[in-house]
Amino acid sequence: MTSFDSALSVPQEDLTIELRPGRRLPWADFLLNPRRLRGSDFLMRWSQGQWSEERLIQAVNETGAYFALPYGPSGTAPDSDVREFELYFERLERAGLGKLKRPDMLIFSAKNEGRARKIVESLGGKEELPFTPEGELRMRSLLEMAFLAIECENSLWKAKAMPDFGSQLTPQRRLGGRLGLKKSAVVPTVIIKEEDRSPLQQWQKQRSIPVHVWHVFYDMAVGISLDEADRLIAAGLIEPTEQVFQAPGGATTKKVIYKIYYQYAYELGASTSEPTLVADYIADKNGRILPYVRFQGGSLEIAAEAVDVLRRASEGK
């Protein structure tokens, strides 16, 4: 699966929102790009991913003590045109950088903001960061200032409305009496893909920058350090789950993921104003329309627990 397909792939079992036309339309003939982007699910995924990262960056920057920059390909890719989004990933592939894994965001102390922004500007802007080797002198200077790296995930759920939100962890037979939840429990989780674990661990070790995973829901966000997630997985407290993902072109692939209960995570933030779901569409060169829903607005306030995580990470730099 290419990096573009991976960025827009969606889990089949979680496609709970579907837009259906009043009559059958020939979506298979929809020619937006060479990969024949067909479904509104993929466009929603693209829109939601961009929206969630923007909310996280805004929330961190509003603390006044810290600021965040998009760093990985998904966070620095164009966010206003899906075709430009694809061309961006095609350029990554041609440069041989499509398989490299970098965290989605970097976090700095506010005192280093001016210097960091000047470095990014000298490199051609944030869009050029994924195309610049980390061994480059200016990139090394940028990374030396960062005290935390973030891998971003998001879900189309209202976390606090999930059926088992608020449930307590109890001894589970399948976990050998260790604490957990029943397999059928529907709760907020921090999702980590097995295919991302090793690359992120290697990046963390090479750059000496701790990696955390932040998961954004419609109404709240939670986070966990990669080290803590690895500990929970190694201890058998979090079991692997095999999930089928579908790419825009229709191809499917099975991936192992870990769903880490929010009870093990720290509170990252809560929505102070909810986003608006706005109807939008794209059209192909023949005038065919593909509608989808995108997220607009809303705000997230960093929780005191997360501010403490940032403080301790910055002090440890």
Alpha-carbon span 310 to 162, nearest angstrom: 28
Rounded to the nearest 10°, the torsion over CA 147, 308, 267, 45 is -30
Q: In which region does residue 250 sit, left (phi positive, over 0), alpha (psi from -120 to 50) or beta (all else)?
A: left
Q: Please report which confidence band the pLDDT of residue 17 belongs to, taking 50, 70 and 90 as the band edges.
A: very low
pLDDT (tens digit, 9 = 90+) per residue, 44-54?
A: 777 777 888 88
pLDDT tens for residues 137-154?
Answer: 999 999 999 999 999 998
Which domain CATH number covers 74? 3.40.1350.10
For residue 219, give its domain range: 3-315
Using one digit for the tens of pLDDT, what is the confidence trace for 268-307? 999 888 888 888 877 666 676 777 777 888 889 999 999 9
Could you give the maximum distance between any two Cα atoms of the chain, in Å? 60
Interval 260-275 mean pLDDT? 92
**Gap between the Cα atoms of 137 and 123, Å rounded:** 11
Question: How many separate domains does the chain show?
Answer: 1
The number of CA neighbours under 13 Å toward the Cβ of 265 is 26
pLDDT of residue 35 exceeding 70, the answer is no
